[in-house]
Amino acid sequence: MKIRFFLGSLVFSVMMLVSVSSSTLAQGFPNKPMRIIVNAPAGGPSDILARLIGQKLTENLGQPVVIDNRAGAGGVIGTEAVATAAPDGYTLLIPNTSHTINPSLYSKLPYDPVKDFAPVTMIVVQPFIILVHPSVPAKSVQELIALAKSKPGQINYASAGIGLASHLAVEVFKSMAGINMTHIPYKGQAPATTDLLGGQVSVLFGAIPVALPHVKSGKLRALAITSSRRSPAMPDLPTVAESGLPGYEVMSWYGFLAPAKTPKEIVAKLYVEITKALRAPDVAERITAMGFEPVGSSPEQFAAQIKEEIPKWAKVVKECGARAD
């Protein structure tokens, strides 16, 4: 009995030491520069959000936050860099919806999208706008569907890339509407928007920050928004569900991930600091103006969403036959 008591006391002491050590570690975090890896090109939504949040973290934590753009392979390159980084909270990834799409899009990934990461928080969600060139004779979702049915496969639609959310949002739309349009993939939202402006393609499900100036200038026509409710950035624009496709909703999200095995106390502190930055009036105002909807979900909620979305997108990818390799 004495031996068992001694061993039990020893285990308890070790656990207490680990607990105190972790708590001390979190209290002293961060004590050196942090890095946010953006797995997309500079100037896009991920980059904008990383710089907004990063600047606020620098102000609040007193440590520089460096933005490191590592674009390529649909976000795989930057994501792998975080998966293999030290699990100390000093290297973070700002992923988007592609994180849950890529497992179905690539035959093999150099990381596991669930096991190799510690979710911190989903910061925002963002709907797409259905955009058409002014020459397209459709001023509503129903008119676009009718046009596509009258010309099967003859209407071209652009996307920011194969298997990205802007592509799969159209595939879900096509399936629900019972239409066929031809996909023209681009390497990013900017070149896709440029060709839509030039009339080389007819349709694009575009991101609000990129599309809004062109809609306001009349260079592009907005038909509907892909969220379940209207956007404060464009309150007069109906949703797709309102426009004749009940139940349609596709949103793109952005969040923060840390490497797996990052101490829970540090993940918790990151969650508190990032959501604090998200709620700052100047950040919140700019985010809302760009069409983002702030979320700030807990690490547990974000983890559950990632696990839930992987099989959902797998079904869409299988149905449309999209492959990235």
Q: Does 212 lie in the same domain as 133? A: yes
Q: What pLDDT score does 243 carry?
A: 96
Q: Does 117 lie in the same domain as 70? A: yes
Q: Does 173 lie in the same domain as 31? A: no
Q: Does 103 lie in the same domain as 140? A: no
Given 225, 243, 273, the domain boundary residue is 225
Q: Does 133 lie in the same domain as 84? A: no
Q: Which residues of the chain have pLDDT under 70?
A: 1-25
What is the tally of structural domains in the chain?
A: 2
Given 209, 225, 241, the domain boundary residue is 225
Q: What pLDDT score does 161 carry?
A: 86
CA distance linking residue 121 with residue 53, whole number of Å: 12
Q: What pLDDT score does 284 carry?
A: 94
Q: Does 261 lie in the same domain as 219? A: no
Q: What pLDDT score does 5 carry?
A: 34
Q: Does 285 lie in the same domain as 145? A: no
Q: What pLDDT score does 74 carry?
A: 80
Q: What pLDDT score does 2 carry?
A: 38
CATH value at residue 70? 3.40.190.150
Could you tell me the residue range of the domain that residue 137 belongs to?
Answer: 127-225
CA distance linking residue 91 with residue 88, whole number of Å: 7
SS (H, E, C) the chain: CHHHHHHHHHHHHHHHHHHHHHHHHHHCCCCCCEEEEECCCCCCHHHHHHHHHHHHHHHHHCCCEEEEECCCHHHHHHHHHHHCCCCCCCEEEECECHHHHHHHHCCCCCCCCCCCEEEEEEEEEEEEEEEECCCCCCCCHHHHHHHHHHCCCCCEEEECCCCCHHHHHHHHHHHHHCCCCEEEECCCHHHHHHHHHCCCCCEEEEEHHHHHHHHHCCCCEEEEECCCCCECCECCCCECCCCCCCCCCCEEEEEEEEECCCCHHHHHHHHHHHHHHHHCHHHHHHHHHCCCEECCCCHHHHHHHHHHHHHHHHHHHHHHCCCCC
Q: Is residue 231 part of a domain?
A: no
Q: Does 277 lie in the same domain as 170? A: no
Q: Does 300 lie in the same domain as 209? A: no
Q: Does 117 lie in the same domain as 131? A: no
Q: Does 112 lie in the same domain as 98? A: yes
Q: Is residue 236 part of a domain?
A: no
Q: Does 134 lie in the same domain as 120? A: no
